[in-house]
Structure formats: structure tokens, C-alpha cells
Amino acid sequence: MQIAVLGSATSWYIADLRRAAGDRHTITPVTYRQLCSQVAQSHVTLRSDEVDLLACDVLLIRSMPPGSLEQVIFRMNALATAEAAGVRVVNSPRSIEIAVDKYLTTVRLQEAGLLVPTTVACQTAEQAMQHFESLGSEVVVKPLFGGEGRGITRVADEAIALRTFKALEQIGAVIYLQQFIEHEGYDLRLFVLGKKVLGMRRRHPSDWRTNISRGAIAEPLEVTEQLANLAHQAAAAVGTSLAGVDLLPGKDGQLYALEVNAVPGWRALAKATNTDVASKVIQWLEETPT
């Protein structure tokens, strides 16, 4: 197979996929910045640098960088163009759009019957302050778009909350709040790969945020039937076939669905579970053609 990977050419994941693919498949890194499409009377082309994306078998999305509104819309439409031309895009453009939007993901998870933290998305500081009180005067403020724990803040002071909400309103941001769930310092990352589910526990000894990028420790996790079912349910709600599903066990005994990552990493997972995840990704692509 010709597998184009949207991500940095120097990424660890490119090297890992090339190792796993061996000489059976060609792994070619491509970038969003170089996406270029030509629409002519008789055909449409889509390239990134010299790579003809419409001639590839698979377009594997390994990053979702920020950009202007026009750039983001064009990139999503370009991915949809590749998908319509018969290229297998993993994950689908629509599922990427849902997963990068925390509000829409939370709505889809709730509609699918999963337990989510009480969440508010609004646009004014006045609205946010009203809900700050109803959420127990302790909330987690998250950017609507973003990952790896960047920009996430826990607010439990009324004055700080007001300043935070006013600052977000002034820059035209959506104010996204979730109730703070008391937990034991860890969450569960379930890696969905088609019908398979791998898992790890992410524990942070000194921070309520459990992202690996923020210093959390990856530990092995036994994926029970219940966890696997929840992971598949969450991934299906967003439309992803390759996903990282984050579940948070609360001190109240409940299991909360937090997010679905449509561009999940597996470096820490591979180490924690002693599993060659890249080989499983390649095998999955081989066994489940478009």
C-alpha cells in the first residue's frame, strides 16, 4: 500500500510506522501546509509537495495543526475530496471535525448514553459566572479546540473565574466549562483500533491533569469487557475507527467519558503494555480495506 501520513516528517510516529511496515508498504509523510488542489474541467488533483494524494491507498492523519478559519475549512474539504475519490482517510474528515470540537464531542457522547461531566458552552462572562455557581464554584475551563492538556485551567475562586471568563469573552472565544470531578489522580486511555481495544492508566503524582505530555506516568491496564464496550461506544458516537477514548473514574464511583481523540498517540501505550502498536495499526489497515 501507498500510505501517506499527515504529520511531521521527523515525527517518531513516522519512523515507527516505517519500521512496522518494512518493505511491504510505503510510508510517505505529507503536510497540511503544502496541500494544493487543482480543479479543472475534466479532473481534480490534490497534492502535498510532490505527493499525489489521490493516488494513495491510505491517508493516515497524525496531526491537526492550528490555522485560520479558511485554512481549517480548506484542509477538511481537501480530506473529504480524497475520501470521495476512493482514498481511505483515517479518520474520516467528519469524525475529525467532531473530535476536535470538545462541545460537539461531549454532545455526541451524552446522546450515545455515556456519562459525561456536566458541561456548559457559552459566549459571555455573565453566562459563565451564572453556571460557575451552579457547577459548584469549581470548574475546569478548556479551550474548545486543543489537546495534550494545553490551556486547561481549574478555577475555584469567584474573582479569578470572572477575570478568566472576561478575558475569554474579549478575545471572542467560546467559554467551555465542565464540573470538576474529584478523582484519584489517574484516568484511563483506551486505544480503539477497529474491533480491538488496548488500554493504559495515566497517573500523575502531583497534578490533577493526567496527560502524558504533562508528566503523567503510563501504567498497564486490563481492558475489561465493560471498558472495551464503553470505548467502542464512544468511538462510534464520534465516527472514529482509530481513537483514543479518555475515561475518568470519579471518587463518586462513576466512570465519566471525557474526550475522544481522533489522532491518538501510542508511544506511551506501547511502552506501558509492551505492545508493538504500530504493527497492529499496519495489520489493521491491511485487513480492513476500504
pLDDT of residue 288: 79
- Identify the CATH number of the domain in which residue 161 sits: 3.30.1490.20
Query: Containing domain of residue 160, as a range?
Result: 119-179
Same domain, 103 and 195: yes
Same domain, 7 and 85: yes
pLDDT of residue 211: 81
Q: Is the peptide bond before 77 cis (omega within 30 degrees of 0)?
A: no
- Percentage, residues of the chain above pLDDT 90: 84
Give the count of domains, the chain.
3
End-to-end CA distance of the chain: 12
> Reduced to 3 DSSP states, what percent helix, strand and coil does the chain have, rounded to the nearest 5?
35, 30, 35
Strand ranges in the chain using DSSP code E only, listed in sequence order: 2-6, 26-30, 35-39, 44-48, 51-52, 58-61, 88-90, 119-122, 139-142, 153-155, 175-179, 186-193, 196-203, 217-220, 242-249, 255-261
Rounded CA separation 285/5 (Å): 13
Mean pLDDT in residue range 92-120: 96
- Identify the CATH number of the domain in which residue 239 sits: 3.30.470.20
With bands split at pLDDT 50, 70 and 90, how would you rate the model's confidence at 148? low
For the beta sheet containing 217-220, the strands, ordered from the edge strand earlier in sequence to the opposite edge, are: 217-220, 196-203, 186-193, 242-249, 255-261
164-180 residue pLDDT tens: 999 999 999 999 999 99
Closest C-alpha to 246, from 159, 195, 183, 289: 183
Same domain, 132 and 107: no
Rounded CA separation 21/276 (Å): 12
Rounded CA separation 64/114 (Å): 26
Same domain, 187 and 265: yes
Residue with the bigger pLDDT between 69 and 105: it is: 105
Same domain, 155 and 72: no
Mean pLDDT in residue range 37-53: 94
Same domain, 108 and 239: yes
Same domain, 206 and 219: yes
Residue that finishes a domain, picked among 137, 162, 179: 179
Same domain, 193 and 281: yes
- Identify the CATH number of the domain in which residue 43 sits: 3.40.50.20
Asked if residue 163 has pLDDT above 70, the reply is yes
**Contact assessment for residue 53 and residue 3, using Cβ atoms and an 8 Å cutoff:** no
Asked if residue 136 has pLDDT above 80, the reply is yes
213-260 residue pLDDT tens: 778 899 999 999 999 999 999 999 999 999 999 999 999 999 999 999
Rounded CA separation 2/141 (Å): 41
Same domain, 221 and 109: yes
With bands split at pLDDT 50, 70 and 90, how would you rate the model's confidence at 207? confident
Same domain, 110 and 230: yes
249-288 residue pLDDT tens: 999 999 999 999 999 999 999 999 999 999 999 999 998 7
Residue that finishes a domain, picked among 153, 179, 205: 179
pLDDT of residue 215: 82
Same domain, 72 and 190: no
- Give the helix/strand (H/E) hosting 128: helix 125-134
* Unique residue bearing C-alpha cell 500510505: 3
Mean pLDDT in residue range 149-162: 88
At 173, is the secondary structure helix, strand, or coil? Answer: coil
| Pairing state between β 186-193 and 35-39 | unpaired
Same domain, 105 and 233: yes
CA angle at 274 for the pair 270 and 275, rounded to the nearest 5°: 60
Rounded CA separation 36/48 (Å): 6
